[in-house]
Structure 1
Amino acid sequence: MGVPAISPVAAATSPATDIAAAAADPSAGSAGFGFYVHVPFCVSRCGYCDFNTYTASELGAGVSRDTYASIVRSEIRSAAAQFTEHSEARPKVETVFFGGGTPTLLSAADLASILAEIDREFGLADGYEATTEANPESVDADYLAELHDGGFTRLSVGMQSTASHVLKVLDREHSPQKALDAVAHAHKAGFEHVSLDLIYGTPGESAADFANSLAAAVDTGVDHVSAYALIVEDGTALARRIRSGRVPQPSDDVAADRYLAAEAALSAAGFSWYEVSNWAKNDTARCRHNLLYWEGGHWWGAGPGAHSHLPGVRWWNHKHPSTYGTALAQGLPVAGHETLTDDDRYLERVLLLTRLASGLPLAELRPDGRAAAERVAAEGLADIEDDRLVLTLRGRLLADAVVRDLTG
């Protein structure tokens, strides 16, 4: 049920030329503009994780948690300079998302200073959304109060499970209670919007384990839940344990059962799905930053390995923090980029909009795609409502296959 990867296409022109042209495009930010800030630090690496993260021993020279906020603020200023030089106005920032890694390994003051830099250089729009991810063991009541006072409006807590043996398989450091405490602290600090992340299908997780995790999530009073099937990525510690036979391979059938359980439990508790893996209590509880991605908006990604998207071009920073810092001292820390073809844009738009409860407008489809949409609907994988294709529950289980049919 994950989003299929799209292979980058090598660009024929230089990153600087294409980024300058994209920043000068009058449509930059017209579909919404956001900032993603990557914080690559982790105390330890979870067994299933293949994200761009580093423990203290892996950082190398020139990078530390103490200096990181200053480095990222420098990239924000470099980003602003692109718009100053090449366009009439910088777009206002509607959403900011701090991901990782564990952003909350930085001090609340450091995170707030990065958010303030974005506001100084670009301006935060009225009613902006600012989210940070947080591991439960990395925050307490005082930290979250300072974070809220620093301008953050939303918290996303990685609970994953309330079963201790499941957390152990995932190599999570926190206890089940820590996640529940983090939510309580966030509400007390004044966060109106709090999300919990769950992972299902972990080897050894029973149906009762997942049901208990769902019930605990609902009982916290959060207004948003994300639930993702465990994906075993090559090169991770979990993949090695599975390959050696110490841990069984996750089951696709079990994952489908868990998804159906999530839909049933969350719907009964007043949540509605708005993207295949995301449920919210109401429209204002939806993650506006992720909707920016899914609906074709633009964003600047700051930090090691972060990706950015402006009209017609996508680029990504150097992955290792040390290399990123060295490159940033000499200009934009771009490791590679791609110019998007019409086919690229078509595939991505169909892929992303199909996963949304608001559906895919049939007008977005090419003629062969419209014929495929009729077949998909006839097979019970989608409904066609007001000239939009909307996945059924069964279709959500087979979303990747539906996208292949529509674009094949």
Structure 2
Amino acid sequence: MGTQGFAAGLEHPCEPGKLVDVPSILPDGDPAPASGELPQSALTGLGERPFGFYVHVPFCVTRCGYCDFNTYTSAELGPGASHQDYADTVVEEVRLARRVLGAADLPVETVFFGGGTPTLLPPEDLARILSAIDSEFGLRPGAEVSTEANPESVNPSYLEKLRHGGFNRISFGMQSAREHVLKVLDRTHTPGRAAAAVREARAAGFEHVNLDLIYSTPGESDDDWRASLAAAIEAGPDHVSAYSLIVEEGTRLAARIRRGELPMPDDDVAADRYLIADRMLAEAGFQWYEVSNWAVSDDARCRHNLLYWTGGDWWAAGPGAHSHVGGTRWWNVKHPAAYAQRLAAGTSPAHAREVLGDDDRAAERLMLELRLISGYPLAEVAPAARTFVAGALGRGLLEPEAFRAGLMVLTLEGRLLADALIRDLLV
């Protein structure tokens, strides 16, 4: 099967890159004011769109070989930043957010702690940051509150404290159930630890549990991938995310591939692994709702990521974190020490920003919404791209029934070729 534009690993919601974690290289942009003040265009309609919070915790015990996120081990952190002071620093940014956004009623619908490994901080610190968000903005009743966690970074006591602190969703980085695959990825947990962590989270009262998987790791076979999927399904999560391994320049994995120690992941293999995942997950009662995400019910879908994908507003706290409000996007300084220094001085940690034009916002909407099972309205497609839409329907990339109802919804083949289709439509 041809795989040009294979899409099962795309994109970061805040900066197209990875699902929630912050990329290590900051883009260029316009200067951001020291006060954090936003243009009036960003504040227009504030409160009419869903509002969420992302909190970046940039700490890791070790750096995985494939990782290109803005994270730091203790040896890399240097002076001026510490685990112990981090929660207090983030709370200062939450207070800054309230000042910048003014008195608008902004109940927070979703909160997501990503990293790094947020659960390297004490559960009391994570709960304190969440409490600050609630105090400054108010959590909407039934708000989704999630954190990422490495399976080995939590235990039953930690999970119980986290649940008591207001968290109701957790996402474990399982990646694989095969020891040799985990070794290539430089993951430190044992193959069975993720399943045990799911059971512990359920026992602690977590309503929703996700497992993250990675496929197409060098040395992984189809049988390895099937075993990982089977182990994930058996563990009992209600949500599974599966991403094709992306080799990022500057990582240890890229260096190993360049030296010939490992083969480069193959697009055709990745497509086959995606088909295996979709089939096994569907047989187990999971339904895709975004190209790389499956859930057992509508309630189990990640509402925070849906906020990203459907054009909501979010404030992202932490070094390197990318925020978006009303078409204005900004990103914080990269290093935790510089981040802490800015906030201690009473100034915004924003490094730079950009104000998106109408064409940019329309393009981003297409890129994100077409990846969702809810689809993208045909009426919104630019006239110059209509021939590509007809061609996609004829090639079996779009669902005919949804098309007749005025929506572009990807078929299974369309999901494999989503990136290429989106490029065709962005004429």
**TM range, normalised to the smaller chain?**
over 0.9
Aligned pairs for 1:78-157 within 5 A: 78-84=96-102, 88-157=103-172
Offset of residue 21 of structure 1: 2.4
1:52-83: CA deviation from partner (whole Å, max 9, x where unpaired): 00000111212111110010001000111112
1:363 correspondence with 2:370: no
Residue number among 31, 34, 37 corresponding to 2:49 in the alignment: 31
> Post-superposition shift, 1:8?
6.0
Aligned to 2:19: none
Task: Rate the CA distance shift 1:171–1:346 in 2: closer, same or farther, 3 A.
Answer: same
Q: Tell me the secondary structure at the aligned position of residue 396 of structure 2.
A: coil
Give the equivalent residue in structure 2 for 1:56.
74
CA deviation string 1:274-296 (max 9, x = no partner): 00000000000000000000000
For residues 350 and 310 of structure 1, the distance between their equivalents in structure 2, rounded to whole angstroms, comes to 18
Alignment of structure 1 residues 8-407 onto 2, 5 Å: 10-11=29-30, 14=33, 19-21=38-40, 24-25=43-44, 27-84=45-102, 88-330=103-345, 331-383=347-399, 384-407=403-426
Classify 1:338/1:23 alpha carbon distance in 2 versus 1 (closer, same or farther; 3 Å): closer
Alignment check: 8 A CA contact 2:329 2:355 kept = yes
CA 1:242–1:155 in 2, change beyond 3 Å: closer, same or farther?
same
Q: Report if the CA contact (8 A) 1:9-1:339 is conserved.
A: no
- Tell me the secondary structure at the aligned position of residue 336 of structure 1: strand
Q: Deviations over 1:359-398 (max 9, x none)?
A: 0111222212333212211111112141000111011011
> Which ranges of structure 1 fall in alignment gaps of 5 or more residues?
none
> What's the offset of the Cα at 1:15?
7.2
Distance 1:242 1:296, change over 3 A: same
| Percent of aligned pairs with the same amino acid | 58
Shift of 1:259: 0.1
In 2, Cα distance between equivalents of 1:22 and 1:44: 42
Letter in 1 for 2:145: A
CA shift, 1:208, in A, is: 0.7
* Aligned-pair CA distance for 1:24: 3.3
How far the C-alpha of 1:206 sits from its partner, in A, is 0.8
Which residue identity is paired with 1:318?
V
Instruction: Give TM-score scaled by structure 2 length.
Output: 0.92
Q: 8 Å contact 2:32–2:351 — kept in the other structure?
A: no
Answer yes or no: is the 8 Å Cα contact 1:134–1:158 preserved in 2.
Answer: yes
What amino acid does structure 1 have at the position aligned with 2:289? Y
Name which structure has the greater RCO, CA cutoff 8 Å, separation 6+: 2
TM-score (norm 1): 0.96
Quickly say closer, same or farther: Cα 1:17–1:177, change in 2 above 3 A. Answer: closer
